Structure 1
Amino acid sequence: MLKNKKYDVIIIGGSYAGLSAAMSLGRSLRKVLVIDSNAPCNEQTPHSHNFLTQDGETPSEIHRKAKEQVSQYSTVELINGLAVHGKKIENGFTITTADDITFEAKKLIFATGVKDLFPAIKNFTECWGISVIHCPYCHGYEVKNQKTAILSNGDRALHIASLVNNLTKDLTILTNGKPDFTEEQLEKLNRNNITIIEDKVIEIEHENGYVKNVVLDNNSKIDFKAVYAAIPFIQHSDIPAALGCEINEQGYIKIDAFNLTTIDGVWACGDNTNPMRSVANAVASGSITGAMINKVLVDEQF
């Protein structure tokens, strides 16, 4: 049972960034409520990497341990719920959940992440986070020296190719339509022996999420072992925008160096603020955010 409905800080999103912020604030005895809908973007990813002390651990186990440790701080409360509405009031903000419960806080943190928009490719979703991957730093080492595809086009495809080329020399770009490269970019790709295929991808054949073949619309199959995919996304929560937080041209919540949004009293951290989507980055940004809010509360009270 919740102890109260008024808090110093409400954190919307209880994954790595949100829990990290909650720990920072809990250790300063701030009254904190974490509202989490339990819909992490890496839910089916088998292992998390590039995070010291947790390399190779499952995302769910990292989250379980984080939640257990944060729960030890008596001023931090965690609930399962979906925040659906936010409102600015005289001395802070209110947040209302889908259960029609309203909470009040002096400050808000949005650690809500982003929602990936999957292409209309059969079995893409089943492979996402397993062998259809987004980040060479998070997953690249595990598929090094394997026959690899990049499902992207233009500048984004070139950027991924430049990173992945260091991990495997058997690399193909699937533009899924007419290639969109400059002459200079094509020269770079040719120089590094990177093939371009423009036929549309219609299916990914797999076994338990692990790619076996990529099927093209000419009915040919290519036996890739991994596919990097640059796909669009939207903000997982529309509350920040509804409160007036500016969204930048890339689709991320605009923040300053200390993770403050363009609305005073509202911070954001984790995947909803930058393209560096990793557990380590989320934890770091959450920790900074919690410390910054505590400093603001100190300055207001001391």
Structure 2
Amino acid sequence: MKDPNRREFIKQSSLIVTSLALPFNFLTFLESDKKIKKFDVIIIGGSYSGLASAMALGRALRKVLIIDNGKPCNRQTPHSHNFLGQDGRTPEQITTIAKKQVSNYDTVYFFKGIAIDGKKSENKFEIKTASGDAFYADKLIFATGIKDIMPKIKNFSKCWGISILHCPYCHGYEVRDTNTGILGNGEYGFKFSKLISNWTKNITLFTNGKSLLTNEQSEILKKHKIHIIEKEIEKFEHINGYIQNIIFKDNSNTEITAIYTKTPFEQNCSIPEKLGCELTDEGYLKVDDLQKTNMPNIYACGDNTTRMRTIANAVSMGTTAGMMLNKEFVFERF
């Protein structure tokens, strides 16, 4: 049975977002529409994990609002890999299919915007957006991801996700047997150099300054013909995000095809912490095996909760969050 509130909303709303070129009516709330404000669940973040949560909840007949600004962290990545059934598709293609499928569930709504504040009052949560709208829900799911903090190296951000990579399981096959660099130092540089040797034997470790490797680590890398360059990096020369050369501060250069590195990060959204959600020592939202945070009625899933940063894992966590949250609803109201 279709939700009568949704039918009324569709009847009154004439705004369809076309900028994403989606093959379905991606509905958003008109400023003048004040009818639909209360939901069972508000999901903040509408990428893979948030959409997976929404699908599980939509299939469980829950009224759900997804708040998302349409700017996923992997939007520069040319193709996504290691996600069964979608290998080789662009992030936009995967997301478009997902949104189309989630939109088939009549109790799932979309709002294009940014959640900027939240508070708990009585038995419900209030979420405010940058546009000035406020929405209410019994429970929340944060699928807000993380924000990579780019090093101060010219053109790094333009190559991020294209030829400067974070995960060999996502991208290693495509740059196998190429001239590959590791941008890192100390324990990370040592371990990641070893890992990447699975995909290529032509590896250089760029420490971007004095090496912090132990003598033993340096000798092991040299034994495996992994070069170590300690020069500081000035910039990356690239063509449309694909690295051609590394330019050092002494004006020397070296050719390179791909670089792996680990960037520091911060949470994309500060609302969970404001609501009392705890972080791990690494800076991720702390969740249990059911994706529950330490705060009642608040769940979290996706990149904001784990270093395992893959689409497949984000979808799995999102599905778990949606299912477990619905189970909580059922048991509370039975």
The match for 2:168 is: 136
Tell me which of 101, 118, 127 is aligned to 1:95.
127
Instruction: Write the deviation string for residues 49-75 of structure 1: whole angstroms up to 9, x where unpaired.
Output: 000010000001101111111011000
Instruction: Write the deviation string for residues 121-145 of structure 1: whole angstroms up to 9, x where unpaired.
Output: 1111111111111110100110000
The match for 1:288 is: 320
User: Retained in 2: the 8 A contact 1:10–1:108?
Assistant: yes
The match for 2:43 is: 11
Q: Do structure 1's residue 263 and structure 2's residue 259 form an aligned pair?
A: no
What amino acid is aligned across from residue 109 of structure 1 in structure 2? I
What amino acid is aligned across from residue 165 of structure 2 in structure 1? I
Secondary structure (helix, strand or coil) at the match of 1:272 reads coil
Secondary structure (helix, strand or coil) at the match of 1:168 reads coil
Q: Do structure 1's residue 158 and structure 2's residue 207 form an aligned pair?
A: no
- RMSD (Å) for aligned C-alpha atoms: 1.1
Q: Does 198-207 or 154-163 show the bigger shift?
A: 154-163
Structure 1 residues 196, 99: closer, same or farther in 2, change over 3 A? same
For 2:57 and 2:295, locate their aligned partners in 1 and report how far apart those are by CA, in whole Å.
20
What amino acid is aligned across from residue 239 of structure 2 in structure 1? E
The match for 2:332 is: 300
Shift of 1:191: 2.9
Instruction: Write the deviation string for residues 29-53 of structure 1: whole angstroms up to 9, x where unpaired.
Output: 0010000011211111000000001
The match for 2:139 is: 107
Q: Do structure 1's residue 72 and structure 2's residue 68 form an aligned pair?
A: no
Runs of 4+ more than 6 Å apart: none
Secondary structure (helix, strand or coil) at the match of 2:288 reads coil
For 1:48 and 1:119, locate their aligned partners in 2 and report how far apart those are by CA, in whole Å.
24
The match for 1:205 is: 237
What amino acid is aligned across from residue 137 of structure 2 in structure 1? A
The match for 1:35 is: 67
Aligned pairs (5 A) from 1:173-188: 173-188=205-220
What amino acid is aligned across from residue 174 of structure 1 in structure 2? F
Secondary structure (helix, strand or coil) at the match of 1:234 reads strand
The match for 2:282 is: 250
Tell me which of 70, 77, 87 is aligned to 1:55.
87
What amino acid is aligned across from residue 141 of structure 2 in structure 1? I
What amino acid is aligned across from residue 240 of structure 2 in structure 1? N
Tell me which of 209, 220, 226 is aligned to 2:252.
220
User: Retained in 2: the 8 A contact 1:10–1:109?
Assistant: yes
The match for 2:305 is: 273
The match for 1:231 is: 263
Q: Do structure 1's residue 116 and structure 2's residue 148 form an aligned pair?
A: yes
Secondary structure (helix, strand or coil) at the match of 2:326 reads helix
Shift of 1:193: 1.9
For 1:237 and 1:8, locate their aligned partners in 2 and report how far apart those are by CA, in whole Å.
21
The match for 2:54 is: 22
Shift of 1:207: 0.9
Instruction: Write the deviation string for residues 88-126 of structure 1: whole angstroms up to 9, x where unpaired.
Output: 122131111011111111110000001111111111111
Shift of 1:279: 1.1
Shift of 1:20: 0.4
Question: Which structure has more RCO (C-alpha within 8 Å, separation ≥ 6)?
Answer: 1
For 1:245 and 1:162, locate their aligned partners in 2 and report how far apart those are by CA, in whole Å.
36
What TM-score results when the alignment is normalised by the length of structure 1?
Answer: 0.97
Query: Number of matched residues?
Result: 302
For 1:250 and 1:184, locate their aligned partners in 2 and report how far apart those are by CA, in whole Å.
27
For 1:38 and 1:156, locate their aligned partners in 2 and report how far apart those are by CA, in whole Å.
32
What amino acid is aligned across from residue 300 of structure 1 in structure 2? E
What TM-score results when the alignment is normalised by the length of structure 2?
Answer: 0.88
Q: Does 67-76 or 185-194 show the bigger shift?
A: 185-194
User: Retained in 2: the 8 A contact 1:9–1:105?
Assistant: yes
For 1:115 and 1:18, locate their aligned partners in 2 and report how far apart those are by CA, in whole Å.
16
Identity %: 53
Secondary structure (helix, strand or coil) at the match of 2:312 reads helix
Secondary structure (helix, strand or coil) at the match of 2:46 reads coil
Structure 1 residues 4, 130: closer, same or farther in 2, change over 3 A? same
Shift of 1:158: 2.3
For 1:182 and 1:292, locate their aligned partners in 2 and report how far apart those are by CA, in whole Å.
46
For 2:117 and 2:309, locate their aligned partners in 1 and report how far apart those are by CA, in whole Å.
26
What amino acid is aligned across from residue 57 of structure 2 in structure 1? L
